């Protein structure tokens, strides 16, 4: 059994760039915006995490960085983890590149300024494999792009509180490439899209629980 605080961060929101956070980034061929899908997925994850916690006898406090169509700076998103003494921080995004590239990838803060790299990688690995398995089961055209290191502001250990007594594992999930037509069908317009969204959320919730129970 676990007692923990989890922060869910739906990427982007609102309009315009605030402190390094764009209002929106990816847009699907049918017009679904990344900022809206990240919020939908985060809310689903919250529900699944609450259900899993109840079923497993865990006490998990879930905090969302935003619950509406508003933007926060990257630092302010991380500060939600610091303020709440969070144990896990997951930022949810969707990719976009050339309308062809595909796959699931998860990022941790790069090694040279990450004070808990191994822990972050373990958490990210749990998230990555869980989400990849769900998407690959639904669409074999996806790819496992793995866990990568990057200098993402939302994963900054100072902002997360990890250099001032905090102990928050953090990663950023790029669910798939939203600008690809097949992904639009998979996540938005296909007959199974609602089910797939739910499966992704359930997988993320399970990965978070797994990471908390087997640290
Ligand atoms: Zn994004």
Confidence (pLDDT) at 36: 98
Could you tell me the distance, in angstroms and rounded to a whole number, from the CA of residue 74 to the centre of ligand 1?
A: 11
Binned at pLDDT 50, 70 and 90, residue 1 comes out as: confident
Could you tell me the distance, in angstroms and rounded to a whole number, from the CA of residue 20 to the centre of ligand 1?
A: 11
- Give me the mean pLDDT over the 95-109 stretch: 98
SS3 letters across 44-55:
HHHHHHHHHHHH
Parse the chain into domains and list their residue ranges.
3-213
Q: What is the per-residue pLDDT across 155-175, written as a single tens digit (0 to 9) for each?
A: 999 999 999 999 999 999 999
User: Reduced to 3 states, what is the DSSP secondary structure of residue 173?
Assistant: strand
Could you tell me the distance, in angstroms and rounded to a whole number, from the CA of residue 92 to the centre of ligand 1?
A: 8
Greatest C-alpha distance within the chain: 48
Q: Residue 96 pairs with which residues in a beta bridge? A: none
CATH placement of domain 3-213 = 3.40.630.40
């Amino acid at each position: 059994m676990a007692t923990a605080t989890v922060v869910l961060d739906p990427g982007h929101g609102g309009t315009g760039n605030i402190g390094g956070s764009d209002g929106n980034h990816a847009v699907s061929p049918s017009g679904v915006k990344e900022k809206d899908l990240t919020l939908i997925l985060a809310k689903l994850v919250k529900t699944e995490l609450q259900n899993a916690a109840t079923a497993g006898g865990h006490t998990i406090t879930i905090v969302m960085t935003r619950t509406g169509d508003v933007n926060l700076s990257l630092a302010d998103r991380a500060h939600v983890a610091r303020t709440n003494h969070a144990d896990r921080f997951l930022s949810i995004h969707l990719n976009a590149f050339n309308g062809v590239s595909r796959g699931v990838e998860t990022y941790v803060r790069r090694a040279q300024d990450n004070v808990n790299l191994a822990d972050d990688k373990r958490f990210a690995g749990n998230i990555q494999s869980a989400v990849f398995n769900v998407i690959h089961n639904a669409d074999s055209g996806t790819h496992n792009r793995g866990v990568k290191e990057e200098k993402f502001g939302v994963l900054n250990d100072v902002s997360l509180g990890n250099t001032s007594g905090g102990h928050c594992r953090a990663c950023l999930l790029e669910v798939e490439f939203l600008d690809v037509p097949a992904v639009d069908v998979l996540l938005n317009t296909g007959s199974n899209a609602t089910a797939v969204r739910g499966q992704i959320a359930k997988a993320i919730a399970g990965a978070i629980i797994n990471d908390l129970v087997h640290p």
